[in-house]
């Protein structure tokens, strides 16, 4: 999740290339980079995002939202127009959204997502082709254990490394130690965020497979440019605003604010205009599923 809400948005941080997801608590930057040198064997390194590329995080959130929150009509995945949930129906303002996401985590969000269709088969094919596969996720280093447990159960023996960029360090509920009164643990944790582009440079990754339009735009803009495969036909990556077009101040308002001001129709029209324009930055290619990821990588060998 895909590429998610945080008190510091990716859209407000042009150097932040980490998505999706509100799947972070804190970040130990020093522990997040196992290797910083070129891989000695194979055809090269392919970097893969986690949420909504490997596991269906946002659909899981939709299902849990139905169980936990009294919203009528129930929200649908098609309404996830933005990775910051307070821009979507059914979440409320920023403070309310943070509390709702916290409830999702307390009720086992990390354990529930299922594999994205075709992910295992596609990854196995890429590995057999001779590529080294790594994960670059916006999750936090503190979520390593839960992430590795999910991978061991669903995608064993696929990935060589996992890198946590810690893109959303201020959203998720307190750690177990904090609940027990050991708040000092968080005080000494590094909250330095790393961009996905930075990790790609450190690992010499050839490309990134990511469902976040914001990540794709940022990684394509930074020097040196990195190839991004924008994954999935998801509502939250259907539009990318051309930097040449002026940003509308209303784009920063929550769904609740736009609804109160009677501006939802205007926002929908702006969104549809961007979707119809189908603008993509150079270096970004849309892939709707894992078959298209594999086909693209096969083209690199020609």
What's the per-residue H, E or C state across 3-70?
Answer: CCCCCCCCCCCCCCCCCCCCCCCCCCHHHHCCCCCCCCCCCEEEEECCECCCECHHHHHHHHHHHHCC
Domain boundaries, the chain: 29-240+280-300
The DSSP code for 99 is H
As a residue count, the chain comes to 302
The residue that leads in pLDDT, 149 or 243, is 149
pLDDT (tens digit per residue) in 5-22: 433 333 333 334 433 343
Q: Is the peptide bond before 268 cis (omega within 30 degrees of 0)?
A: no
| pLDDT of res. 140 | 82
Q: Which DSSP state fits 194? A: -
Q: Which of 77, 185, 201, 208 is nearest to 137 (CA)?
A: 208
pLDDT at 145: 87
Nearest to 161 by CA among 190, 128, 200, 198: 200
pLDDT at 143: 80
| CATH domain 29-240+280-300 topology | Rossmann fold (3.40.50)
Cα–Cα distance, 88 to 90 (Å, whole number): 6
Kindly state the DSSP code that residue 206 receives in the 8-state scheme.
E
Q: What is the pLDDT of residue 176?
A: 43
Each residue's pLDDT tens digit, 73-131: 999 999 999 999 999 999 999 999 999 999 998 999 989 999 999 999 999 999 999 99
- What does the DSSP assignment read for 109-161? GGG-PPBPTTHHHHHHHHHHTTEEEEEEESS-GGGHHHHHHHHHHHSTT--SE
Judged on CB neighbours under 10 Å (0-12, 13-18, 19+), 181 is exposed
Per residue in 211-227, pLDDT (tens digit) is: 999 989 888 888 898 99
What does pTM read for this prediction? 0.81
């Amino acid at each position: 999740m895909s590429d998610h809400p945080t008190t510091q948005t990716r859209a407000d941080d042009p150097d932040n290339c980490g998505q999706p997801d509100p799947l972070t608590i804190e970040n130990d930057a020093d522990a997040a980079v196992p290797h910083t040198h070129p891989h000695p064997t194979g055809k090269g390194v392919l970097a893969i995002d986690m949420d909504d590329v490997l596991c269906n995080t946002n659909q899981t959130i939709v299902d849990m939202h139905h169980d936990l929150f009294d919203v009528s009509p129930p929200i649908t995945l098609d309404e996830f127009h933005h990775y910051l949930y307070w821009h979507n129906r059914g979440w409320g303002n920023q403070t309310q959204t943070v509390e709702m996401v916290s409830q999702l985590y307390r009720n086992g969000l990390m354990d529930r997502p299922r594999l994205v269709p075709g992910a295992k088969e596609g990854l196995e094919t890429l590995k057999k082709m001779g590529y080294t596969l790594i994960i670059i996720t916006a999750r936090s280093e503190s979520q390593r254990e839960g992430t590795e447990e999910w991978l061991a159960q669903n995608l064993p023996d696929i990935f060589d490394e996992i890198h946590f960029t810690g893109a959303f360090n201020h959203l998720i509920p307190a750690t177990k130690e904090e609940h027990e009164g050991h708040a000092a643990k968080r005080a000494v944790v590094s909250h330095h965020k790393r961009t996905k582009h930075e990790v790609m440079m450190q690992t010499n990754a050839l490309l990134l497979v990511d469902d976040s339009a914001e990540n794709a735009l940022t990684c394509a803009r930074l020097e040196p440019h990195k190839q991004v495969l924008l994954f999935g036909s998801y509502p939250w990556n259907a539009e990318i605003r051309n930097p040449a077009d002026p940003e509308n101040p209303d784009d920063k308002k929550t769904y609740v604010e736009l609804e109160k001001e009677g501006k939802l129709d205007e926002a929908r029209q702006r969104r549809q205009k961007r979707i119809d324009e189908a603008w993509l930055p150079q270096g970004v290619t849309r892939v709707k599923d894992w078959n298209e990821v594999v086909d693209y990588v096969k083209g690199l060998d020609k």
